[in-house]
A and B are shown apart, each in its own frame.
Chain A
Amino acid sequence: MHSVVCIKQVPDSAQIRVHPVTNTIMRQGVPAIINPYDLFALEEALRLKDRFGGTVTVVTMGPPMAEAALRKCLSYGADDAILVSDRAFAGSDTLATSYALATTIKKIMGNMPVDLIFTGKQTIDGDTAQVGPGIAKRLDYQLLTYVSKIVDLDLEKKEITVERRAEGGVQLLKTATPCLITMLEGTNEMRFGDLDDLFRAARYDLKVWNREAAGIDDAEMIGLKGSPTVVSKVFAPRPRSQRAEMVETVDNDPKNLAVTLLAKVFTQHPKLEKEIAKRAG
C-alpha cells in the first residue's frame, strides 16, 4: 500500500517572541520543527506500513530549509520525500496551498497509486485546520477528520473503518479508499527511528519539485493570485488599559492577603459573591 503524508515545517510557537516595537516575529534562535500534529499522521502511516508493507511518501510545501523536516521524517522510517518549493508559492493562503498539494499528489499518483493521504489535524503556526479538508475536496476524496483510531483496513475491498472524534462522542465511520485522514493528537507515539534509517535519511537524494515539476500549470491558482484572503493588518495584542489592582498588606502574610483580596473582590462584585455562595450552598 502507498500512503502520502503531508507535513509542514513550523517555527516552534512556544518559543516565538514578538519584537516590541516593530510587531514582527523574531525568528532568530527559534527552532524550526515538524508541526507536532503531523507526527501523529506520520506515525499512523508508518504503523500501517508495518502491518501491510508498502511505501510512505512524505510531502511538504515550503522554503528550501524545509528539507531538514523531510530528512527527519525519513529518519523515522518514511521511504520517500518530496519538497515542493518555488517562489511562485509565496503568499499562498490555505485555498492556494491545498491546490498546490493536491496537484502534487496527483503527480505522485501518476508514478504510484495512493491508498491513503494523511495530515495532522492542524498546524501550530496557522492553526486553521483547512488544508487537509481542502486537499480531500480537490481530489474528490472522502474526508475523515479528527481520526482517533484506524479500526480496520481492507486493501482488497478498498474499505477503511475509523473512529472519529465528533461533538459529544465518537463516530465509527466506514468509507472507501483512497481517502484523506487528519489524525487527532495523542493517538499514537512517534517511534525512534533505527540507525539504518538515520544514515539513509542523511544521504537520501530527496526530490525538490518546483511549480512545473509538481505539475501545476496554472500559476493563477497559487501564490497571492490564487488566494482569496488577504492579510490587511498584523498587530500585537493590546494590553488592557488598566493594570491589575495589586493587593498588598503590611506584613504580606498569605492569610491577610487572602482576606483582603476577598473583601475587595466581593465589595466590587457583589453578584460574584452571591454566585459563589449559591454554588457552595
Chain B
Amino acid sequence: MSEQPKKPAKKKVELDPRFVNYKHVWVVVESERGEVHPVSWELLGEGRKLADALGVQLCGVVMCGPGERGAGICGEAFTYGADKCYLMQDEVLKDYRNEPYTKALTDLVNTYQPEILMLGASTLGRDLAGSVATTLGTGLVADCTELVIETETRNLASTRPTFGGSLLCTIMTQRHRPQMATVRPRVMAMPEADGSRSGEIVTVPFSMIETSIVTKVLEFIADDTRDKPNLPFADIIVSGGRGLKKPENFQLVWDLAKVLGAEVGASRPVVQAGWAELDRQVGQSGKTVRPKLYIAAGISGAIQHRVGMDGADVIIAINTDANAPIFDFAHYGIVGNAMTILPALTEAFKAHLAQAKKAG
C-alpha cells in the first residue's frame, strides 16, 4: 500500500501471465485458543459479495493447533457464507507466531492460488499480512473501508482512508495475485449466520518442525477483561469531546452512559489531554465502532473521528457551533452546550425509562 497518495495511474496494466489461473476469494479465519475473532465473520460477509460478483467460490483459511476445534470453526465459517475451508492443524500453529503462520499461509496461497486474500486488521492480521505480502511480492492494502470488483478488469478496488482520514484513496493491485487487503473490525457489517449452509473442508498437512522455529512463546497472559472497555462491539456509546471544556465535565458523559448501560467513548484531543484512556478513543487512530446509538457530546466531527463512527445506526450530536461538521453526518442534532444538554438528556432518559417500566 502506498505511503502517500500518488497521481492516479492512467495506463492500463495487464495481469502478469504467471497469475492467470489464480481464482477464488479467501478470508483468513483468525482464531486464538479456539476463539474466532468476529472480524473474520464480517470479512466473510464482505467476501461473499466479492465472490458472487466474480462468480467464484468464497473460501476460509483456518490455521490452529491439533487440539483445537478446527472443523467446528470451518462449520461456523460455512454458516457465514464460505463455500469451502482450508484447514491446517499442527502443533506449531498452536499459538500465533509470525514465522510458522507466514509459511503456512504462503504455502497455501502458492498451492491453491486465490485471486483475493483478506485478513482482519487485528494485531495478528496486520503482522501476518505484511509478512505474507512481502514473501509473495504482491500488493497489500491496509484498513480498507470499501471493497469493490471492477467489472471490466476483475480487479479489486480497495478504498481506504489516508492522512488520518482527511482523504480516501482507491488502490489496485493490477499485475500481481493474490490481491491482499486488511479490514478493521466493525468496518463491515456482521452477516446473518445461516445454519442450513454447509461446505467442503480441505485438510492440508503442514510440514514445519518446532526445532526449526526460532521464536518461542514462553507464556500467554490473558487480558483481565472485566474493566476493559470493548468499544468496537458496544451497542450504545456516549462520547465526549473538547466541547466539555474541563476534565471534570467528562463525568457528565459517564452519567448518561450509566443510565443507558452504554460504553464511554472519546475524541482524540481529550484522550491526548488525559480525560479518557486510549482504549476509549474513537476514530482513525483509535477504534472503529458500529453501535445502534452513538451520542457525540462536544465533538466537532473532524474527519479523523468520523471515519471511526460513521457506521453507527443512529447518531445524535450536541455542539455549540451550528456549523460544526458533525451535523453534516449525524442523524439528530442539538445546537447547545454539552454541559447543560447532557444532564438534561440523562434526566429525560431516566424519566422515560421509569415510565416505560411502569407501563410494563
A133-167 Cβ-contact flags toward B at 8 Å (1 or 0): 11011100011111000000000000001000111
Tell yes or no: B32 within 8 A of A by CB.
Answer: yes
**A93 lies within 8 A of chain B by Cβ:** yes
Decide if B130 touches A132 in the complex (CB within 8 Å). yes
Instruction: Decide if B167 touches A97 in the complex (CB within 8 Å).
Output: no
> Which B243-290 residues sit within 8 Å CB-CB of chain A?
259-261, 268, 278, 284-285
A195 on interface, CB distance cutoff 8 Å:
no
Which among B109-117, B201-209, B217-225 touches the partner chain? Answer: B217-225
Cβ-defined partner of B344 (8 Å) among A123, A233, A236, A255: A255
Closest to B185 in A: A167
Contact between B333 and A231 (Cβ–Cβ < 8 Å)?
Answer: no
With contacts A133-B130, A145-B123 taken as known, whether A124 is within 8 angstroms of B164 at the C-beta atoms is yes
A interface, how many residues as a size bin?
A: 35 or more
Bound complex: CA A128 to CA B217 (Å) = 26
Residues on the B chain within 8 Å of A269, using CB? 313-314
Q: Write the chain A residue with the least CB distance to B16.
A: A228
B75 to chain A, nearest CB (A): 22
Asked whether A227 is an interface residue with its Cβ less than 8 Å from the other chain, the reply is: yes
The A contact surface, by secondary structure, is mixed
Choice from A127, A133, A176, A236 contacting B168 with Cβ under 8 Å: A236
Q: Mark B301-338, 1 if CB is under 8 A from A, else 0.
A: 00110110000011111000000001111111111100
Binding site for A on B (CB under 8 A): 1-9, 13, 30, 32, 35, 37, 95-99, 102, 122-124, 126-127, 129-131, 133-135, 137-143, 157, 161-176, 214-223, 225, 235-236, 259-261, 268, 278, 284-285, 292-293, 303-304, 306-307, 313-317, 326-336, 340-341, 343-345, 347-349, 352-353, 356-357
> Which residues of chain A have a CB within 8 Å of any CB of chain B?
8, 11, 13-14, 16-18, 23, 25, 91-95, 97-98, 123-134, 136-138, 142-146, 161, 165-176, 186, 224, 227-237, 239-240, 243-248, 252, 254-255, 257-259, 261-262, 264-266, 269, 271-273, 275-277, 279-280
Provide a sorted-by-A list of 6 A–B residue pairs whose CB atoms are within 8 angstroms: A127-B142, A145-B98, A168-B32, A237-B161, A237-B167, A275-B293
